[in-house]
Structure formats: structure tokens, C-alpha cells
Structure 1
Amino acid sequence: MTERISEIIAERRALEVRQAWGTVLGTREGRLVMWSILERCHVFARTHYGNDLDGFREGQREVGLMILNERIFPHDVRAFAAMQIEHAELMDRIQLAAEQQAEKETADE
């Protein structure tokens, strides 16, 4: 395989990956999945608790920051803002539903 063919393959693959990220970030469901991955990567939390897992959690955080800096922000920085708003709205809905459920359970006792 020539060097030029390798370059073309890399360029086409990069385009496919960018388009796939656009698809993911273009839907509420995709943004929710990405938010859950960022949460799991400790992007929004501390990683150092003074124990053996600190390095592991920091490595996970590095992956989350890479996703933000290399995939989400370059695609559309507004996607992250949408993710933040959607997450806050989701948590409000979950909080309200939990309160209503607890109230109903108390009333049923």
C-alpha cells in the first residue's frame, strides 16, 4: 500500500468518525449517553481520595477530558451546553418524580 493510499484511508476514516460524532451529539439521547460517559470518567468530580484508586480514576478522567477536548468541543461547543441544560432538566424531572412517588407511598401506608 502506498503512502498516499494510507493517507486517503486515514482521511476517510476521520471523516466517518466526525460524522458519527455528529450523529451522536445531534440527538438528546446521544448527548445523554455522552454525559453519562463523562460522569463515569469523573470529569465533573474529584479523582483524588488518597487511596490506591486515585491513579485509576485520574486515568478515567483523562479519557473524559480527551472526549470533551478532541470530539465534543471541536464538533460543536454548543452541544456541551445543551448536554448541561438537558442533564439539569432530567435531574429536575427525576427529583419531582421521586418526591411524588415517596408522597404516594406515604399516603398508601
Structure 2
Amino acid sequence: MSTERNPALPLTFIPVTNLIPRERRMIRNMAGALNAAFQIAPGRELVIHLGLGGERSNLEALETWVCQQMLTHRMHPSRESMGWYVSQLESTLNCIEEEKHD
């Protein structure tokens, strides 16, 4: 597993804590739904790939990832955008899996 920081995340990324409560709640809800849909195991193995490195769990890393997607693509987490987030995460997880086998 690589220990390098995810180059797709900008260095000036806004932490989840700097968002308004409504945005944080939307991000948490979407991350929780994605976590359940993909049955992501507890642990920290996805932190290096989805997060900034300081997250304490895969779920926190997923929250960071959702926030980054929201800000980069201007796609607010909602029921309507769930399919888009599923597609994006599936693609990201496939890339991570491919990296493991290279």
C-alpha cells in the first residue's frame, strides 16, 4: 500500500469542520450511505486513498472524499446525486484496487 498523499486532493482543501452545519450534515449522511452501500470495513486502510491522512477511520476518510467531490464538482450530496456519488466512488475504489495489484 502506498504511503503517498492523494495527489488529486488540492493542498488548500477546506476541512469538513470549516463548512456550515447543514453542509457537514449532508456530507456525513452521504458518506454514511456510501459506507453502507459499499459495505466498507471498519479500519483505516482507505484513509491514504480517500482522505488527507489525518482521518481516524475509513468513514472519516469517506466524509473527506465526499466533501472534496462536492467542492470540486459542485455536486451537493442529496438523494438526487446519490447515483453520481456511487459511480464516482466505484471508479475510485476500482483504481485503488488496481494499484494494489500493480
Q: TM-score range by the shorter chain?
A: under 0.3
Larger Rg: 1 or 2? 1
TM-score by length of 2: 0.27
